[in-house]
Amino acid sequence: MSEDIIDKIISNVLQGRRDKDDEGIDEGYEDQPGVTELVNEALEQGVDVEKILAEGLSRGMELVGEKYETGEYFIPDMLAAAEAVGAAMEIMEPHLLKKGSKESKGKVIIATVEKDIHDIGKNLVSIMLKGAGFAVIDLGINVPASRIAEEVEKENAGLVGLSALLDTTMPFMAKTIEELENRNLRDKVKVIIGGAPTSDQFAREIGADAFGADAFAAVNLAEKLMVRGGK
């Protein structure tokens, strides 16, 4: 019985269906429960929360990643799947906490820096990180350095993701890092930057830990920096 529902979770992650109103990729899913409904159903049936996470949601995302690697899936498929898993993780969180399991791979603060209102890239990274099992606090756009530092302190975040699309707003990434240093937070938090005008070299210049060329790179770097603990 639990295998049936786990299989359904996997196939709905592959279809990127958050709930029953979502269109998937293939025909035949209309009005069928999506990932969030299936996770609720599994919890009601008493399926082990770690089993739902490992064998359903995470396994589904692994398969999505494999399909992307082979060229069968595209970014919209990855995003839809990550959104579905991210929404399911919010349902799972209290249950994981109750069981004493680690509820996420770590807490990430993400923001587009001061004077910059571009958010497509930042949103992609946010969705993908949630889908990969990180707890993401998205502060939105045009976020001052002081606000980012405050949130890092308050949430005890392990990672900050900073986004900028303009070369005129890139300096606010440096300003944010300075703010973290001023508040003695820099040693406790890793910083990843991204956005069209930024680069690996710029990351080094301003003292960031890494530069993510795209959303996948950002997720891989987050895994490397937070889960595996390396730089």
Partner 1 sequence: MSRKGVVVSNPYNRLTAEQVELVHRTSLELLEKPGILFYNREAVEMLEKAGASSTATREGEYEAWWVSIPPRIVEQVLETVPHKITLGARNPEHSLQLDTDEMRVHFGSGSETNIWLEVHPETFVSQDNPQNKRVFPTITRRRGTVADLCVSAHLAENLENLDFFLRNVNVQDKDITEENKDVNKFFASLNNTTKHVMGGLTDFRQLDNVVKMAEIIAGGREELQKNPLVSFITSVIKSPLQVVEETAEKLIAVSRMGLPVVISTSPQGGSTAPIEEAGMLAQVNAEVLTGVIINQLAAPGAPVIYGAVPVRARMDNLHDMYGVPELFHYNASCAQMARYYGIPCYSTAGVGDSKVPGMQAAAEKMLTHSTVPLAAPGLIHYSFGLLEKTMTFSMEQALLDNHHISMAKFLCHEPAISLETMEEQKEVINKVMNSPNRLYARYARRALRRGDIFPNYPFQGDLEDQDDTLLKAHAEVQKLLSNPPNHLSEEICTEIFDRVPGLLTRLNPYKK
Judged by the rule CB under 8 A, the positions of this chain that interact with partner 1 are 16, 22-26, 74-77, 79-80, 83, 120, 123-124, 126-127
CB of 24 to partner 1, least distance (A): 8
Pairing of β 159-163 and β 210-211: unpaired
Q: Kindly state the smallest distance separating residue 135's Cβ from partner 1, in Å.
A: 15
H-helix or E-strand spanning residue 135: strand 135-138
What are the helix and strand counts (H, E) for the chain? 10, 5
Q: Which is nearer to partner 1, 104 or 126 (CB)?
A: 126
Q: Please say which residue, 74 or 168, places its beta carbon nearer to partner 1.
A: 74
At its nearest, how many Å lie between partner 1 and the CB of residue 32?
16
Nearer to partner 1, 56 or 86 (CB): 86
> Which strand (E) or helix (H) includes residue 190?
strand 190-194
Does residue 186 contact residue 149 with C-beta atoms inside 8 Å? no
Taking the complex as a whole, the smallest distance from the CB of residue 148 to partner 1 amounts, in Å, to: 19
Name the 3-class secondary structure at 220. helix
Return the number of the residue (76 or 197) whose C-beta is nearest partner 1. 76
CB of 23 to partner 1, least distance (A): 6
How far apart (Å, rounded) are the C-alpha atoms in residues 191 and 108?
10
**22 vs 179, which CB is nearer to partner 1?**
22
Owner of token pair 């923001």: 111
DSSP secondary structure code for residue 168 in this structure: T
